[in-house]
Amino acid sequence: MIIELLSVVAPVFIVALVGLAWARSGAHFDEVSISRLVLNVGVPCLLFRSLTTLEVSPFELAQMVGLTVGVMSLFALGGLVVLRMMKLPAHTFLGPLVFSNSGNIGVPICLFAFGEPGLALGMTYFATSATFHVSLGGPLFAGTFSWRPFFRSPLTWAVAITVPVVATGVAVPVWIARTTELLGDIAIPLMLVTLGVSLSKMHPDSLGRSFILALVRFGLGVSAGLLLTTLLEVEGLTRKVLILQASMPVGVLNYLFAHRYGRSPEQVASLVLVSTLLSIATIPALLAWL
């Protein structure tokens, strides 16, 4: 069991450590350009390739979208209650409690743990979460709302293109399939390296509060995923992927939003760092349980 868990978790954190070591060595890493390449090209292509070539039914994919919206709604409600109890501002800490790192960490974990079908379902969760994060993450920190980020996001358009293809079963031309496969293959390793580089720049401040909120993030993920799948009688791989993805640590993008809008970026960075370190223990434990 231990060896099986290590075979799933170790590659993810080793590749992230490569990014961290690269940054700590002083070597140049164009984080902005590479992040844009991954989010604007690699991830949309990975999404298209995963959902159009794998043997996962359209019903399962649609079910995962609905479950993802459901757990994020529970995150928001539970997060608001916790933040009010802790007397912390929602505009700074609600985003980190709602939007997890289902891309950089969650997607490769789903792939290594559950194979190609797990990748398809994990990508569906990530695409749904990321679409909402792009649309609502900024407004949560800024206090104002705009539809512009939603319509300008390549991931939104990738979803808009992929859904009809999957629903109708249209055959994808070989040249498109191979192109998206090549470009999609860069996404996972670069996401993990970029995660390591991002973590190398963060410093733990207010460790006690960050640790509590990191535990809250994990607890919300497990409880929301378990509650929905139990109430709706969802079983099998969909249940496992949902609970796993919902329980990922705080997403790095929350720090970028906090930095951009001046919402205590150091505290959000601390939460990202602490929750990611905590996931070294929680992810193997969760996988063993699932």
Bridge partner residues of 250 (DSSP): 100
Q: Which residue has the higher pLDDT, 143 or 24?
A: 24
Bridge partner residues of 100 (DSSP): 250
Q: Indicate the pLDDT class of residue 256, thresholds 50, 70 and 90.
A: confident
- 242: alpha, beta or left, given left = phi > 0 and alpha = psi -120 to 50? alpha
Domain residue extents for the chain: 2-289
Q: What is the pLDDT of residue 196?
A: 85
Residue-wise pLDDT tens digits, 6-37: 777 888 889 889 998 999 999 999 888 888 88
DSSP 38: I
Q: Which residue has the higher pLDDT, 150 or 171?
A: 171
Q: What is the pLDDT of residue 90?
A: 85
Q: Which residue has the higher pLDDT, 245 or 130?
A: 245
Q: What is the pLDDT of residue 246?
A: 96
Q: What is the pLDDT of residue 1?
A: 62
Mean pLDDT of the 113-138 span: 86
The correct CATH number of 2-289 out of 3.30.70.100, 1.10.569.10, 1.20.1530.20, 3.60.20.10 is 1.20.1530.20
Q: Indicate the pLDDT class of residue 51, thresholds 50, 70 and 90.
A: confident
Contacts of 152 (CB under 8 A, 6+ apart): none
Q: Is 20 helix (H, G, I), strand (E, B) or coil?
A: helix
